[in-house]
Structure 1
Amino acid sequence: MTDTLPAQPSDTPGAAVGRVLGTADATPLQFWTAVMPGSFLQLDDVVVTRRELPGREPVTIAGVVTQVRARHEGAQFDSDVFAIADGTLPAQVQEAAEITATRVDPEIYVPPAPGALVHRAEGDARARALHFDRMERRIPMGTGRDGVPVYLNADFLDGQRGAHVSISGISGVATKTSFATFLLYSVFRSGVLGGDAVNAKALIFNVKGEDLLFLDHPNSRLDDATIAAYAKLGLPAGAFPDVRVYAPPRAGDSSGSPDVSSRLAGVDSFYWTLSEFCADRLLPYVFADADDERQQYTMVVHSVAAHLARAAQPADGGVSLDGVRIGSYPDLVDHIVEQLTDEETRSEWAGSAINTGTVNAFARRLIGSKKDLARLIRGDLATRRPHSINTAESAQVTVVDLHNLPDRAQRFVVGVTLKSEFERKEKAGTAKPLLFVVLDELNKYAPREGSSPIKEVLLDIAERGRSLGVVLIGAQQTASEVERRIVTNSAIRVVGRLDPAEASRPEYGFLPTVQRQRALLAKPGTMFVNQPDIPVPLCLEFPFPAWATRVSEAGAAPSETLRSIVQAADPFAVVGRGPALADDEIPF
């Protein structure tokens, strides 16, 4: 995949398909070509023409078709079309295509000459036109409209020259998560990153149904055509080989069993002990809504978090505070509220300048969190099983299931997990191994307005993650509602099917007008990808997932050998089959 392509242009790039128009202005960056009879050009086709210069080497101008038109030449009035169709008025149909230049070689910016032959770019000529020959490491992303592979420059993904991916589109239609997982699969299986891919990790937050819990199961719907599509991209068609799944404990379950219903193989529960909650100052992530930071009670949040870190001591799975053993999150909340409402202890916990109204506002929010977070912050499971999410000690792909959690709990898990992972990378002080973070609904966790602990972590990843080897692959329905600094720090921007109102927003200014219109009609699996190497976004289709995306697609369960390995690593891991669900009962 890393072989460099020939640098010199070939004499025959492909079949001639037209000539540069002389009735429309031709510029060095854009021109029109008349399509020859018996030929055609469609949107996204790659073409090349040559301009001869006196005393200089010829200039090769390559480009992508960004508009196509057809008209009757010889017609004057709209009604002439009927006479022409009847054969009573002479006229001919002429098609023309608008070409937007992608490469000028050598860089002498002159317009193509009217009448110059325009060829369809094929083989090496196509690769040069799309700058693939300059990509030392090319990651396959899918195939273009011509059925030939389209590549992503790995330098703009792994942090060498840029990092981060922003994927936008309508929920359920744009296949944002499917493209994100395919991109990860291509990174891990193409061999482009060499040894770095072997050690690289991925952290995926599953927020919708149990779609991403079967990445290590082959897709039973995989057919020969799909296998051939993967082979064309230089990829094997199969499941992710090394996956570990985490899910929250079931609500009200004292054993801490994971809350999943259809996963066929092992799943680990994740949670935080009361001691970790206090010592690591996780209380601010209970108040992780962006609107919370606008309220005065955030001062109380940080004061109480600092007091818990100082005063709480581990005690039999729970913590000891003020001589009282606390064994559950609801008990901890009740104790905090009791201390804050007592005038004698309030200043010690929240400071002397805090008034009663502010304390009451904090207390109301904190009490409201008991139901949502009780199963995630535990005092009764500390010694029973491993519970921490740590990608460095996990599989190559770590999936954290959030779909059964309420909104507040989802924010808490995302915020605390990202904080822990980023802090580990900071302490390591090196960009290797890479960590890819896939997070859907980014507009919820990093909205354009307001501030929150999660948003600050995501901003840190967007602005400093490149140097630490943390790559954010964020997906959202509306890029216009995501923090601008996160979007602008994304070297790769991907767009699927868009809502008409959203498509008109300036965040999609990188899309030519025609591509904005096409994004309103894009079918699932069609994406427009913009990368720094190529001046025009490329339209591509990526193949159907080779891994199961739901229980009904899951192929054979892991072998007994793998089951024994899982059980040896964690005797409490759930490796049996969950309750069977009918297809119409599966939560997607």
Structure 2
Amino acid sequence: MTDQTVGRVLGTSDATPLQFWVAVAPGAYLQLDDVVVTGRELPDGSTVTIAGVVTAVRARHEGAMFDSDVFAIADGALPAQIQEAAEVTTTRVDPEVYVPPSPGAVVRRATGDARAGALYFDRMDRRVPMGFGRDGEPVYLNADFLDGSRGAHVSISGISGVATKTSFATFLLYSMLRSGVLGGAGEAANTRALIFNVKGEDLLFLDHPNTRLDERTVAAYGKLGLPAGAFRDVRVYAPPRAGDSSGTPDVGSRQTGIDPFYWTLAEFCKDSLLPFVFADADDERQQYTMVVHAVTAHLVKVAVPAEGGISVEGRRINGYADLVDFIVDQLSDEETRHAWTGSAVGLGTVNAFARRLISSKRDLARLIRGDLAQRRPHSINTAESAQLTVVDLHNLPDRAQRFVVGVTLKREFERKEKTGSANPKLFVVLDELNKYAPREGASPIKDVLLDIAERGRSLGVILIGCQQTASEVERRIVTNSAVKVVGRLDPAEASRTEYGFLPPAQRQRALIAKPGTMFVSQPDIPVPLCIEFPFPGWATRPAEAGTPPDSALRSVVQKTDPFAVVGAAVGGISDDEIPF
């Protein structure tokens, strides 16, 4: 397809090397996000190619003076004509001679190689498909800024239930794993991903094809160079049922291919996990945190593994509730309190710690066990798990969720530190990031996430964080994210400085963006791109889980013209189809 002439550079508005206006030709049109290209001839005879993205469009009557003239013009009583104009923000100048385009210069809609050059796709050695532009053509993300080669981490923001943050995060992960950008088959197979499921049981069926896949969706995936289907290698973990001594995973819909996870009392003491019981950022502002660390250190010294539990100073302990009661008894006794606190701590501070610890029994008793020590492996270790590990948290109370997230990330990061290698990669998808790493306060989880944001790239740990409000997330985590993604935003949130990378028109559009529409900013491209990603090829709820034969999918692809149906397939997530 050849470039299409759509107008000429406007002469009544200033044209600069970075921004200019285009008068749209009769019979043509330009819409937001269109990619256009024009040229400027220099005195030496060489030509500078200037490409850009349409960031604003307007139409007006030329010849009218008053607002009421519109009626006379419509009735034919006053001569005037309609003129449309589009604002273009420059994305690329080649060669880099920053001169403005000449008024009257022909402007064309960029397609094919011209479009790829305007959006720097031609300079991306490894391209990750992330959806389609407004023109129905694929849009790519530079894998170098996703896997840590030149940058790392993704920040996804938007209104809960409308912005489809988790849907896009899983699609991006699927595209990364199946597009072939990770190199050879060995490297791709060694790549690991960890997802925390916090909303229902939506993410427990990622290895099941979606029964709602149709011809148009399969064709859309085909145009992106991706197979339409489910994740291939998935292992699901869920907490044991409360009060169940057999350790049965606490899930309702998925009955096979799921393992329980928990920590033994010996692990809890030896690995210094007590601070994660107090993982709320508000806790770190309390004085009893010094007691937390003193008790943690003492447990490391005195706790001895014993069959079915631990032994502490000659007392047998078989469960988390017993351990809490024992610690409280030791702190209540004046003769033993000093040995456990390590210093002269006020009784009020000790009581505050004890009250908080006692209240954790109900939330954490099923996660910290003494009665399941002899069962099958129970630890979450992505290096020994499947390519994609899903940790189900939706049945856990808030404190237990914080404990699981904090301890799991701590252990995974420590394993990567011990190896000291960036390979294999580990992608971590964490929703509700503003809860785990809030802007104010400190907590053990926040410390781990900051470590991942600041040092994870060198170790191959990549964070894909989702949050409703980026303004409430620790600034250093957002700043270290090379890729920033925005879905539907709340009006008050859209005005925050964290979204300064969005042009004014895109900020306004983010207030009305439909599910499946995202604005993606990446270092390679000066202007955020508006994209729509296809409906998930994997099941997003139990009712969608199925296993259609491969032959059926192949026949759908063969019978379908991808270009004709892409427009109908993308953005096909209506309000009642929001997966997560």
> Residues 158-173 of structure 1: matches in 2 within 5 Å?
158-173=147-162
Check conservation: 1:141, 1:151, Cα contact below 8 A: yes
SS where residue 22 of structure 1 aligns? coil
Inter-partner Cα distance in structure 1 for 2:67 and 2:152 = 52
SS where residue 128 of structure 1 aligns? helix
Equivalent in 42, 49, 62 of residue 53 of structure 1 = 42
- Is 1:152 matched up with 2:152? no
SS where residue 216 of structure 1 aligns? coil
Inter-partner Cα distance in structure 2 for 1:352 and 1:486 = 35
Question: Alpha-carbon deviations, 1:287-339, whole Å to 9, x = none?
Answer: 00001111110000000000001100001120000101000000000000000
Check conservation: 2:207, 2:231, Cα contact below 8 A: yes
Check conservation: 1:272, 1:388, Cα contact below 8 A: yes
Give the match for residue 76 of structure 2. 87
The one-letter code matched in structure 1 to 2:168 is F
Inter-partner Cα distance in structure 1 for 2:190 and 2:547 = 26
Inter-partner Cα distance in structure 2 for 1:543 and 1:466 = 29
Give the match for residue 438 of structure 2. 447
Check conservation: 1:187, 1:197, Cα contact below 8 A: no
The one-letter code matched in structure 1 to 2:482 is A
Check conservation: 2:211, 2:548, Cα contact below 8 A: no
Inter-partner Cα distance in structure 2 for 1:198 and 1:24 = 54
- Cα offset for 1:558? 12
Check conservation: 1:254, 1:380, Cα contact below 8 A: yes
Inter-partner Cα distance in structure 2 for 1:356 and 1:192 = 59
- Is 1:25 matched up with 2:14? yes
SS where residue 300 of structure 1 aligns? helix
Inter-partner Cα distance in structure 1 for 2:343 and 2:375 = 41
Q: CA RMSD in A?
A: 1.4
SS where residue 358 of structure 2 aligns? helix
- Is 1:184 matched up with 2:173? yes
Give the match for residue 362 of structure 2. 371
TM-score by length of structure 1 reads: 0.93
Give the match for residue 243 of structure 1. 234
The one-letter code matched in structure 2 to 1:177 is T
Inter-partner Cα distance in structure 2 for 1:133 and 1:35 = 28
Give the match for residue 280 of structure 2. 289
- Is 1:544 matched up with 2:523? no
The one-letter code matched in structure 2 to 1:172 is G
Give the match for residue 562 of structure 2. none
> Residues 454-469 of structure 1: matches in 2 within 5 Å?
454-469=445-460
Identity value in percent: 81
Give the match for residue 103 of structure 2. 114
The one-letter code matched in structure 1 to 2:110 is A
- Cα offset for 1:13? 5.7
Check conservation: 1:13, 1:119, Cα contact below 8 A: no
- In structure 1, the gaps of 5 or more residues are 1-11, 560-583
Inter-partner Cα distance in structure 2 for 1:373 and 1:517 = 44
The one-letter code matched in structure 2 to 1:497 is R
Check conservation: 1:247, 1:269, Cα contact below 8 A: yes
- Is 1:257 matched up with 2:248? yes
- Is 1:470 matched up with 2:443? no
Inter-partner Cα distance in structure 1 for 2:292 and 2:33 = 54
Give the match for residue 7 of structure 1. none
Inter-partner Cα distance in structure 2 for 1:90 and 1:126 = 39
- In structure 2, the gaps of 5 or more residues are 551-575
Equivalent in 372, 375, 383 of residue 392 of structure 1 = 383
The one-letter code matched in structure 2 to 1:504 is S
Inter-partner Cα distance in structure 1 for 2:115 and 2:165 = 27
Give the match for residue 8 of structure 1. none
Inter-partner Cα distance in structure 2 for 1:113 and 1:13 = 23
> Residues 91-490 of structure 1: matches in 2 within 5 Å?
91-195=80-184, 196-490=187-481
Inter-partner Cα distance in structure 1 for 2:440 and 2:243 = 36
- Cα offset for 1:352? 2.9
The one-letter code matched in structure 2 to 1:385 is R
SS where residue 540 of structure 1 aligns? strand
Moved more, 260-269 or 506-515: 260-269
- Cα offset for 1:351? 1.9
Question: Alpha-carbon deviations, 1:97-137, whole Å to 9, x = none?
Answer: 00000000000000000000000000000000000111110
Question: Alpha-carbon deviations, 1:240-286, whole Å to 9, x = none?
Answer: 01000000000111111000001153110000000000000000000
SS where residue 261 of structure 1 aligns? coil
Inter-partner Cα distance in structure 2 for 1:456 and 1:13 = 53
Inter-partner Cα distance in structure 1 for 2:123 and 2:188 = 21
Give the match for residue 509 of structure 2. 518
Inter-partner Cα distance in structure 2 for 1:139 and 1:51 = 33
SS where residue 170 of structure 2 aligns? helix
Check conservation: 1:46, 1:64, Cα contact below 8 A: yes
Inter-partner Cα distance in structure 2 for 1:55 and 1:387 = 72
The one-letter code matched in structure 1 to 2:267 is E
SS where residue 398 of structure 1 aligns? strand
TM-score by length of structure 2 reads: 0.94
Question: Alpha-carbon deviations, 1:35-94, whole Å to 9, x = none?
Answer: 000100000000000001111410000000000000000011000000000011110000
Equivalent in 509, 524, 529 of residue 533 of structure 1 = 524
The one-letter code matched in structure 1 to 2:327 is I
Check conservation: 1:165, 1:473, Cα contact below 8 A: yes
Inter-partner Cα distance in structure 2 for 1:26 and 1:119 = 16
Inter-partner Cα distance in structure 1 for 2:31 and 2:413 = 45
Check conservation: 1:226, 1:543, Cα contact below 8 A: yes
Check conservation: 1:221, 1:553, Cα contact below 8 A: yes
Check conservation: 2:209, 2:548, Cα contact below 8 A: no
Aligned residues: 551
Check conservation: 1:265, 1:558, Cα contact below 8 A: no
SS where residue 160 of structure 2 aligns? coil
Inter-partner Cα distance in structure 1 for 2:45 and 2:467 = 50
- Cα offset for 1:345? 0.3
Check conservation: 1:168, 1:496, Cα contact below 8 A: yes
Inter-partner Cα distance in structure 2 for 1:397 and 1:555 = 19
Inter-partner Cα distance in structure 1 for 2:549 and 2:16 = 59
Inter-partner Cα distance in structure 1 for 2:309 and 2:548 = 38
Check conservation: 2:168, 2:533, Cα contact below 8 A: yes
- Is 1:15 matched up with 2:4? yes
Inter-partner Cα distance in structure 1 for 2:255 and 2:366 = 23
